[in-house]
């Protein structure tokens, strides 16, 4: 087991904990206090990790499935036995409250256990070659094989479980993987590496390389030996990666400005409860977070009043306090960005129902109405604790407005009308539609990803494994008897 001081001087480079003279401060965004430091890796470090991963892939690809399963379960056991330690690190280095962090740590355990289960289900199918004239004497099948070295670039908002969503499937499918965690939240990724180290993962299969993207990111993205980049982050960064990556697989989750529809036949109390949580979980820094809510006019006043009341009762404060509902954003810079966007909307005619105040990295849970369509906050991903309310006259209007934006990750609809639920599920241009849930609902075993600017491919263990493997056809030409 590594303690915080050791983490502060080490990164996990091809199975070894190594130190570097140049370091990066890891600070608590709540008060900017120094937690620890991590190595500031160089291009040479990344090249070494890639070279070692090539050797690690040879080991991983030949590792029996039962050994992959055992290692994944041992890593899950390790984290589960230290759940509070993992949750505390998540809360300290990021924006989550301790209660939110415990849920993430628990989900990480689930993610690794599902990865272990899916390792035994990487299967192929027989192929009827005799469907083609002249191929009557051929039989065969296809199976899926690991693609090689995978580069994973992960964000700050789920610093443990989103790393596990890349590492777990990679190991389950027999690949090697190099993780470049978010510069501001590297400790959780290093703690995940600790679990795999303790579980007996062979050296060189996993590296967690800490450092600035400007120093090591392009090396990972462009290297020809890296056969896939799995990226979770912002649209601009995703576009940059796609231009640089070259001929390799790309899996990208690039965020959203998720819509929710609340119809007049919905249970208003349930809709308010779910959407307040969906809007302000992790201080709104959540790719699935509720950003736009379209409410039928008949219940607009009732819903908006209850929503504002619930929002005003949201408790903002110390992340480690058990009664805190929301902590700070990841940095004061992000809080200032959101403050600027809100002020722009207010200047353009939007109305402030509650919130709208900043204190350092904290920004109050904020509700806006009458937001003009051309405002930045109406079109971009807010990634902060701000939600926009709109009245609509019908489901058709709500779907039309929900689809106007360039993102399409997930959406929610609240209704007791089955016809309306099916219409929304078919016509909303997103990767997932949650019925009587906010857009902020996900389990780790489901396919997860979006359309349009929300990304490429799907995560969720079974589906990530599919992205991390390729089919190989085997055909036997049989001698005629």
Would you name the residues annotated as active-site residues? 253, 287
Backbone angles phi, psi at 128, to 5 degrees: -85, 85
What residues have CB less than 8 Å from 61, skipping those under 6 apart?
Answer: 145, 146, 174, 175
- Cα–Cα dist 23/199, whole Å: 28
User: CB count, 10 Å around CB of 70?
Assistant: 15
Backbone angles phi, psi at 424, to 5 degrees: -65, -40
Residue for token digits 């790309």?
250
Backbone angles phi, psi at 313, to 5 degrees: -90, 0
User: CB count, 10 Å around CB of 396?
Assistant: 11
The secondary structure of residue 448, as a DSSP letter, is B
- Cα–Cα dist 322/317, whole Å: 10
Q: Tokens for 21, please give them.
A: 């003279």
Dihedral sign computed on CA atoms, order 181, 184, 187, 188: negative
Are 56 and 119 spatial neighbours (Cβ–Cβ below 8 Å)? no
- Cα–Cα dist 242/73, whole Å: 34
- Cα–Cα dist 58/67, whole Å: 15
User: CB count, 10 Å around CB of 195?
Assistant: 28
Query: Can you say whether residue 255 is alpha, beta or left, with left for phi > 0 and alpha for psi between -120 and 50 degrees?
Result: left
Q: Where do runs of H (alpha helix) occur along 285-331?
A: 297-312
The secondary structure of residue 459, as a DSSP letter, is B
Host H or E run for residue 47 = helix 43-62
- Cα–Cα dist 136/80, whole Å: 54
Q: Tokens for 85, please give them.
A: 């330690």
């Amino acid at each position: 087991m590594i303690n915080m001081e050791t983490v502060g001087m080490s990164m996990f480079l091809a199975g070894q904990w190594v130190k570097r003279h140049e370091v990066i401060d890891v600070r608590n965004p709540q008060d900017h206090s120094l937690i620890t430091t991590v190595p500031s890796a160089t291009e040479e470090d990344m090249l070494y990790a890639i070279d070692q991963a090539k050797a690690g892939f040879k080991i991983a690809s030949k590792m029996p499935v039962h050994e992959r399963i055992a290692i994944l379960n041992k890593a899950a056991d390790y984290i589960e036995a230290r759940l509070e330690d993992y949750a505390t690190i998540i809360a300290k280095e990021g924006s989550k409250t301790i209660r939110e962090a415990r849920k993430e740590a628990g989900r990480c355990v689930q993610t690794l256990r599902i990865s272990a289960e899916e390792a035994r289900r990487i299967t192929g199918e027989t192929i009827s070659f005799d469907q083609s004239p002249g191929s009557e004497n051929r039989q065969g099948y296809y199976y899926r094989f690991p693609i090689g070295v995978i580069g994973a670039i992960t964000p700050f908002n789920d610093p443990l479980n989103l790393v596990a969503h890349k590492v777990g499937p990679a190991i389950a499918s027999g690949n090697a993987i190099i993780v470049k965690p978010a510069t501001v939240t590297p400790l959780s990724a290093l703690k995940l590496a600790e679990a795999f180290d303790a579980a007996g993962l062979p050296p060189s299969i996993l590296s967690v390389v800490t450092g600035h993207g400007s120093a090591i990111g392009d090396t990972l993205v462009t290297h020809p030996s890296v056969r896939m980049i799995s990226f979770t982050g912002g649209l601009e960064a995703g576009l940059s990666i796609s231009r640089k990556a070259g001929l390799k697989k790309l899996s990208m989750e690039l965020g959203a400005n998720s819509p929710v529809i609340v119809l007049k036949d919905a249970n208003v109390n349930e809709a308010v409860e779910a959407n307040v949580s969906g809007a302000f979980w992790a201080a709104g820094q959540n790719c699935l977070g509720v950003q736009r809510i379209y409410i039928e006019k008949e219940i607009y006043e009732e819903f908006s009043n209850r929503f504002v009341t619930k929002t005003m009762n949201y408790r903002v404060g110390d992340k480690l306090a058990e009664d805190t509902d929301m902590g700070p954003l990841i940095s004061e810079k992000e809080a200032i960005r959101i403050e600027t966007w809100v002020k722009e909307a207010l200047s353009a005619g939007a109305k402030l129902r509650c919130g709208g105040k900043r204190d350092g990295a904290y920004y109050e849970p904020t509700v806006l109405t009458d937001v003009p369509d051309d405002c930045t906050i109406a079109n971009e991903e807010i990634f902060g604790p701000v939600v926009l309310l709109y009245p609509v006259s019908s489901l058709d209007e709500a779907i039309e407005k929900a689809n106007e934006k360039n993102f399409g990750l997930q959406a929610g609809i609240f209704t007791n009308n089955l016809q309306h639920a099916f219409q929304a599920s078919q016509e909303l241009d997103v990767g997932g539609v949650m019925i009587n849930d906010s857009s902020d609902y996900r389990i780790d075993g489901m396919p997860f990803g979006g359309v349009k600017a929300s990304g490429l491919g799907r995560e969720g263990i079974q589906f990530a494994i599919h992205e991390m493997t390729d089919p190989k056809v085997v055909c036997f030409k049989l001698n005629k008897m």
